[in-house]
Structure 1
Amino acid sequence: MELTFYWYPKCGTCRNAKKWLDENGISYHAIHIAEHPPTRSELGTLYKNSGLELKKFFNVSGQKYRELGLKDKVKTASEDELLDILASDGMLLKRPILTDGNKVTVGFKEDEYKSTWL
């Protein structure tokens, strides 16, 4: 199954991940995360399949995260509220997100990519 690669082209981490995928001959379908963010339903699936805490899906260094004052809200909001917030704007999502429909990685760490996708 082809991988789905949610990324933001101006993001250096995303460009590094894309370069790594290309250099390792891994095929993927790239989706601009700001223009075509995952739906709330897709986010729910990504979250469940990732094994990560939902707060790990937030781009905590992003301008939108700071503008909305989400630092404290993330600590107390329910899972449903957090999914709604994440689905409201692709720029709130930590990127890149890479999935094959079962496995999911969030962000880019070369070691994690090697162990998950090679």
Structure 2
Amino acid sequence: MNNLIDKIAWIHLDNNKILSTRSRGKNAYYLPGGKREPGETDLDTLIREELSITIIPATATHLGTFHAQAHGHADGVTVWMTCYTAEHHGVPTPGNEIEEITWLTYADRNRVSPVDQLIFDHLHQTNQLP
């Protein structure tokens, strides 16, 4: 059993809110992004996200890397979330396993996965998500 989940997340903030997604059958919200496939770079994974938008690779900026117990997995399974901001073209639209897209505030922190909670805390502490 693999005890590490390697994910890349797109951090998109607008009007004091952060874009978040909920997958079919899940009860928590997650930042948009995905698991890294073998041989992919961070940017490869970032631009393949599933919101029907086009990430502009030249604008990608590393925000930080966070780790926590993986939501919905056995104890000891950790998710490492490497986060980037980036400009994009298009309007985020649910696709594939994404059932819902929503904008959350820091007050919604309890509705997201444990690693996303750490990211919300970081954004709050740095005045990016009041």
Return the TM-score normalized by structure 2: 0.25
Structure number with the higher helix fraction is 1
Return the TM-score normalized by structure 1: 0.27
Structure number with the higher strand fraction is 2
Higher RCO structure, 1 or 2 (CA under 8 Å, sep 6+): 1
